[in-house]
Each structure stands twice: as structure tokens, then as C-alpha cells.
């Protein structure tokens, strides 16, 4: 190695040493590394982390020896402006030869031999490569653990916060909601994540199940709390809603009475009242000693039932009155077809006349069978247009 080459190599190795030192310090400062140092681990995580710790210990031993060789090289270089031949040879040997000496490790007596154990010698490049392998082994484990923790722990923290919120709401409402199993599940999952993230982390579906359960329970309790605060007002609004149902059902009955004498209706067309059953449910809700959680669900169901009953009654009245409109529309079609028959010279045609009279009789009879009347008008219309019977 030339003098210039040796000096350049020494500077490059010094930069390399500083970079490796920074990487090692970053490794030890890593949050997951610090947490693992004092953690109680088990299972595959314990096995993997023990192997990683051995790799880190070997890495530091290699680094100390590597740094000692560079220190010796820097001492050879010293402050000399120009290296002598002897110093250059020594520096070359340190920088490019097998200058890193690893002492033979002490073995248990059952693994020993009476023959001398040879020390291992490495070049600086081989030492750096071996350090890198150990570094990658350690960081791979850290990355895997950190990935699991980063994914699971925030969600477990959120679930714990949700559990506390549910507990506060439960106490505020005086509910006897049993959260023991959920608390147990969360503790078990957290312990598994912390102690064995690589082997016992909870599956996604289990964490999702607990999260959904807590969110649903909290929503129910918040709804119950709101009902407890608004019950008086909402009850008055429900009473008014029942009055609207009565009015809509009365309108449907009136429409049925008007239509049934003019239009033939099946028995199921008779409007059925729901307001009495809803009113009875409201009375039962007032008298019930149940919890607010139960009362909230029943009150909401009553409000929805009242709204649907009013809508159904109004729709029934509209549909019934629409039957009169349908009859009048058929009467109009029949008149238009008769006028067309006159223009076509078919007014005296016996066949057409018979079809007309049949349709007219059906449409002007009470109660009118709309189905048969519509069929009769269609037959007459086809006859006028040349379709025959």
C-alpha cells in the first residue's frame, strides 16, 4: 500500500468507524429497543429477542476490537508528515491484513478439548461485514416487533379509553351492564401483544370484535343518556304523533267508506288501526321500571312506529281515493273510444256495441269491479282499432 493509499484508507476507516458508532447508538436509543430491555417476554418473541441480544453483544465486541485496530493505526500514523518504510508496513498490515483478533471463546467443560483453541483473525472488511450481519439480525427483530406494536397498541389504547367511557356512562345511568368479559379480553390481548408480539398477538378479527362491541355499547348508552334528559319532551311529541296517527287513520276510514260503495274492494282493503296498540305501548313504557337503556330502545321504536303508522294510513287513504280516479279515467277512455267508433262508422256495429255496453254497465255499476271494467274497456278499444274480440 502506498503512503497516499494508506493515509486515504485510514481516513476512510475513521469515517466508517464514526458512522458505525452513530448507528449503534441509534440502535440502543430506539424506543422499541429500550422497551424490550426491561420487558418480560415469552414464546417466540423471547427466543428471537434472546438471539438478537446475543448478536448485539457480539456486534459490540467486534466493534471494540475493530476500533482498537483503528486506534493502533492512528497511533502509527501519529503526527508524522511522512511515514517511514517500517511504519508504512505496519499501517498496511493493520488496515488490509488480518489485524482483528477474536479470542477463542471459553466453552463449557463438556465441549472443551485439550488441544489449544486458535484465535480467529479477520480483516477490517470482514469485521464490518460480520458486524453488519449481526446488526441486521437485531434490527429485523426490532422491526417485526415494532410493526406489531405500532398496529395493535394504539387500537388497544383506544379500546381501553372506550371502555372507560362506557364505564362512566354506565355509572351515570345506573345501569347494571356487565363489562367483565370485555375487560378480561382487553387485558389478555394487551398482555399477549406486550409479552409475545411475534407469537401471540391477537388476530385482527378478535380486536375488531371487541372494538365494535364497545362502540355499539357506548352508542346505546349515549342514546339512553340523551333519552333520560329528553324523555319529557319526547313523550309529549310522541303523544302528538299518536294524534296525527289517529287523524290519518280516520282519514283512511273515511276514504274507505266513500270508496267501498262505489268500487268493489277485497276484505283486506279495510284499514286497520295501529294507534291503540301504540298508545298501550306508551302507557306500558311510562309504567315500566326498566333501565334507561331499555327505555331508550322502546321509545325510539315507538317513535318510528308512530311515524310509519301515520305514513301508512295516509298512503292507504291516497290509494283508496286513487281508485275513484282510476274509474273516472276508464270512463274517459270508454267515451273517447265511443267517439272514435262513431268516426270510423262502427257505432252501429253489433259486436262493438255489445262490448261498449258491457264496459259501460261495469263502469256505471256500484260497486264497480275495476279489474273487469278495465278488461272490458281494453276489449272495446281493440275492437275499435281492428283487433277484434
pLDDT at 80: 58
* C-alpha triplet 281, 285, 286: angle, nearest 5°: 120
- Residues spanned by the domain of 44: 3-104+118-148
Per residue in 344-387, pLDDT tens? 888 888 999 999 999 999 999 999 999 999 999 999 999 998 75
Tell whether 166 is covered by a domain.
Answer: no
Task: Say if residue 39 is in the same domain as residue 75.
Answer: yes
Tell whether 373 is covered by a domain.
Answer: yes
pLDDT at 310: 96
Task: Say if residue 68 is in the same domain as residue 11.
Answer: yes
Which residues of the chain, if any, have pLDDT below 50?
388-389
Three-state SS at 102:
strand
Q: Give Cα 343 distance to the centre of its chain.
A: 71
- CA distance to 86, 341, 359, 379, per residue, from 384 (Å): 128, 6, 13, 9
pLDDT at 388: 45
Task: Say if residue 245 is in the same domain as residue 358.
Answer: no
| Contact yes or no for 366/372 (Cβ under 8 A) | no
Torsion of CA 211, 212, 216, 219, to 10 degrees: 60
Tell whether 77 is covered by a domain.
Answer: yes
DSSP type of residue 42: -
Say what angle helices 43-77 and 124-173 make with each other, to 10 degrees: 140
Task: Say if residue 51 is in the same domain as residue 96.
Answer: yes
- Does the model's pTM come out above 0.85? no
Task: Say if residue 302 is in the same domain as residue 366.
Answer: no
Tell whether 389 is covered by a domain.
Answer: no
Task: Say if residue 95 is in the same domain as residue 60.
Answer: yes
Domain boundary among 321, 341, 369: 321
Give 76's contacts (C-beta < 8 A, 6+ positions apart). 87, 90, 91, 94
pLDDT at 87: 82
The CA distance from 351 to 148, in Å, is 87
**Beta-carbon count within 10 A of 73 CB:** 22
Counting Cα atoms < 13 Å in the Cβ hemisphere of 121 gives 7
Give the chain's largest Cα–Cα span: 140
Task: Say if residue 136 is in the same domain as residue 248.
Answer: no
Tell whether 17 is covered by a domain.
Answer: yes
pLDDT at 389: 42
Task: Say if residue 240 is in the same domain as residue 316.
Answer: yes
Tell whether 211 is covered by a domain.
Answer: no
Tell whether 290 is covered by a domain.
Answer: yes
Instruction: Name 122's bridge partners.
Output: 100
Task: Say if residue 82 is in the same domain as residue 17.
Answer: yes
Tell whether 335 is covered by a domain.
Answer: yes
Task: Say if residue 351 is in the same domain as residue 280.
Answer: no
pLDDT at 375: 96
**Beta-carbon count within 10 A of 152 CB:** 20
Task: Say if residue 333 is in the same domain as residue 296.
Answer: no
Q: What are phi and psi of 368, to 5 degrees?
A: -85, 130
How many domains, the chain?
A: 3
| Contact yes or no for 94/72 (Cβ under 8 A) | yes
Task: Say if residue 100 is in the same domain as residue 15.
Answer: yes
The CA distance from 178 to 210, in Å, is 14
Report CA torsion sign: 111, 113, 114, 115: negative
Q: Which helix (H) or strand (E) holds 132?
A: helix 124-173
Amino acid at each position: 500500500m502506498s503512503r497516499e493509499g494508506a493515509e486515504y484508507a485510514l481516513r476512510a476507516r475513521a469515517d466508517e468507524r464514526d458512522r458505525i458508532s452513530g448507528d449503534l447508538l441509534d440502535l440502543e436509543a430506539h424506543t422499541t429497543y429500550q422497551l424490550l430491555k426491561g420487558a418480560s417476554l415469552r414464546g417466540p418473541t423471547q427466543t428471537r429477542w434472546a438471539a438478537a441480544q446475543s448478536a448485539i453483544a457480539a456486534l459490540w465486541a467486534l466493534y471494540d476490537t475493530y476500533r482498537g485496530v483503528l486506534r493502533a493505526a492512528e497511533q502509527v500514523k501519529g503526527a508524522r508528515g511522512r511515514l517511514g518504510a517500517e511504519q508504512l508496513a505496519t499501517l498496511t498490515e493493520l488496515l488490509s491484513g488480518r489485524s482483528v483478533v477474536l479470542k477463542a471463546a471459553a466453552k463449557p467443560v463438556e465441549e472443551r478439548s485439550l488441544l489449544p483453541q486458535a484465535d480467529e483473525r479477520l480483516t477490517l472488511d470482514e469485521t464490518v461485514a460480520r458486524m453488519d450481519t449481526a446488526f441486521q439480525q437485531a434490527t429485523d427483530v426490532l422491526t417485526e416487533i415494532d410493526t406489531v406494536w405500532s398496529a395493535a397498541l394504539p387500537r388497544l389504547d383506544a379500546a381501553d379509553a372506550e371502555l372507560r367511557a362506557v364505564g362512566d356512562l354506565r355509572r351515570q345511568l345506573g345501569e347494571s351492564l356487565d363489562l367483565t368479559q370485555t375487560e378480561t379480553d382487553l387485558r389478555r390481548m394487551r398482555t399477549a401483544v406486550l409479552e409475545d408480539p411475534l407469537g401471540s398477538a391477537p388476530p385482527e378479527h378478535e380486536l375488531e370484535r371487541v372494538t365494535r362491541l364497545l362502540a355499539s355499547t357506548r352508542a346505546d348508552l349515549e342514546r339512553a343518556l340523551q333519552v333520560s334528559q329528553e324523555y319529557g319532551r319526547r313523550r309529549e311529541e310522541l303523544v302528538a304523533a299518536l294524534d296525527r296517527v289517529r287523524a290519518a287513520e280516520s282519514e283512511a276510514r273515511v276514504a274507505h267508506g266513500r270508496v267501498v260503495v262505489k268500487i268493489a274492494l277485497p276484505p283486506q282493503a279495510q284499514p286497520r288501526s295501529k294507534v291503540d296498540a301504540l298508545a298501550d305501548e306508551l302507557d306500558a313504557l311510562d309504567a315500566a321500571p326498566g333501565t334507561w337503556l331499555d327505555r331508550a330502545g322502546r321509545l325510539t321504536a315507538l317513535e318510528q312506529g308512530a311515524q310509519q303508522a301515520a305514513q301508512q294510513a295516509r298512503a292507504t287513504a291516497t290509494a283508496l281515493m286513487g281508485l275513484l280516479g282510476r274509474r273516472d279515467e276508464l270512463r274517459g277512455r270508454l267515451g273517447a273510444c265511443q267517439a272514435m267508433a262513431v268516426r270510423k262508422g262502427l257505432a252501429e256495429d253489433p259486436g262493438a256495441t255489445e262490448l261498449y255496453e258491457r264496459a259501460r254497465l261495469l263502469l256505471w255499476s256500484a260497486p264497480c269491479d275495476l279489474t273487469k271494467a278495465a278488461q272490458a274497456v281494453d276489449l272495446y278499444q281493440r275492437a275499435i282499432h281492428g283487433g277484434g274480440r
